[in-house]
Amino acid sequence: KLVSRELHPKPSIIHVGDVAVGGDRLVVIAGPCGVEDRKRTLEIARAVRKCGAVLFRGGAFKPRTSPYSFQGLGEEGLKILSEVRDETGMGVVTEMTSPSQADLMMKYVDVVQIGARNMQNFELLKCVGRLGKPVLLKRGLSATIEEWLMSAEYILSEGNDQVMLCERGIRTFERYTRNTLDLTAVPVIKKLTHLPIIIDPSHATGIREMVSPMARAAIAAGADGLTIEVHTEPEKALSDGPQSLYPEQFEQLMRDLYVIAPVV
């Protein structure tokens, strides 16, 4: 298999502009769950950039559990993300939910995220495999590591080897946290594949207070980076407010991370 470490012993480094994911420095992706409006998004972008985030996240197409929840701004949201890139220099990461969004992704985005709910949407995987843009592939809610790697294989088999894996918590019997962060995925992924691994403690825990401890643990375990939800007024967020860090908390986390490992 193309994802296999046996075939490719050297860790892969994924380049997003001048940011190298999978090298010897941690990469921190930060931003709101969804792009809500221009002013808010730029405000959050400036805040996370100041703290040391090098890539910006924000969904314009939101795969919500309920069809009545905020669905994202679509192309308008992607234009706002482009503006974030122009102003701050951060590359932008956003979720693609359908192959019909391919042209928009090519035009506006630096890293295409495949969400947990679409990890086994094979037509979508083949489509991003052909786009040739870096991909952040989230682990499915109930996917085994083997299944997750086979999904990555779909992308690589189409000729795109710029894949980063993202562990975002899995479904277990435990209901205290939103999901259960499977940190064993870090050493398992390092053993099985050359692809880098990013940890998402925000969706894994669903609880703001638990994001920083899990982020630190992930880095101590050897993860290549983090993706963190940050919002300047989480109580007003249109999605995932309860797990979004205040900028002050994000700033403290970044300071704590430097103690554990070098950050980009």
Q: Give dist(CA 53, CA 33) in Å, integer.
A: 15
- The span of 98-106, 115-123, 187-195, 243-251 binding ligand PEP (CB under 6 A) equals 115-123
Contact string (CB under 6 A) for ligand PEP, positions 133-152, x = contact: -----x--------------
Cβ atoms of 60 and 77 closer than 8 Å:
yes
Q: Which helix (H) or strand (E) holds 139?
A: none
* Nearer of residues 191 and 195 to ligand PEP, judged by Cβ: 195
72 binds, among ligand PEP, Mn ion, none (CB under 5 to 8 A by kind): none
* Alpha-carbon dihedral sign for residues 238, 81, 14, 215: negative
Tell me the two tokens of residue 86. Answer: 């122009």
Q: Give dist(CA 138, CA 148) in Å, integer.
A: 8
Tell me the two tokens of residue 69. Answer: 């929840």
154-173 binders of ligand PEP (CB under 6 A): 168
Is residue 53 close enough to count as binding ligand PEP by CB under 6 A? no
* Nearer of residues 194 and 203 to ligand PEP, judged by Cβ: 203
Contact string (CB under 6 A) for ligand PEP, positions 30-49, x = contact: ---x----------------
- The span of 44-52, 70-78, 109-117, 122-130 binding ligand PEP (CB under 6 A) equals 109-117
* Nearer of residues 49 and 62 to ligand PEP, judged by Cβ: 62
Is residue 59 close enough to count as binding ligand PEP by CB under 6 A? yes
End-to-end CA distance of the chain: 31
| Token pair 């930060």 in the structure block, residue | 30
Q: Using CB under 5 A, pick the residue from 57, 115, 240, 247 that binds Mn ion.
A: 240
4-43 binders of Mn ion (CB under 5 A): 33
* Nearer of residues 224 and 240 to Mn ion, judged by Cβ: 240
Helices 122-131 & 145-157, crossing angle to 10 degrees?
50
Cβ neighbours of residue 107 closer than 8 Å, sequence gap 6 or more: 78
115 binds, among ligand PEP, Mn ion, none (CB under 5 to 8 A by kind): ligand PEP
* Nearer of residues 237 and 260 to ligand PEP, judged by Cβ: 237
175-204 binders of ligand PEP (CB under 6 A): 203
Helices 185-192 & 208-221, crossing angle to 10 degrees?
40
Q: Which helix (H) or strand (E) holds 66?
A: none
* Alpha-carbon dihedral sign for residues 191, 172, 27, 255: negative
Interface residues with Mn ion (CB under 5 A) are 33, 240
Interface residues with ligand PEP (CB under 6 A) are 33, 59, 63, 115-117, 138, 168, 203
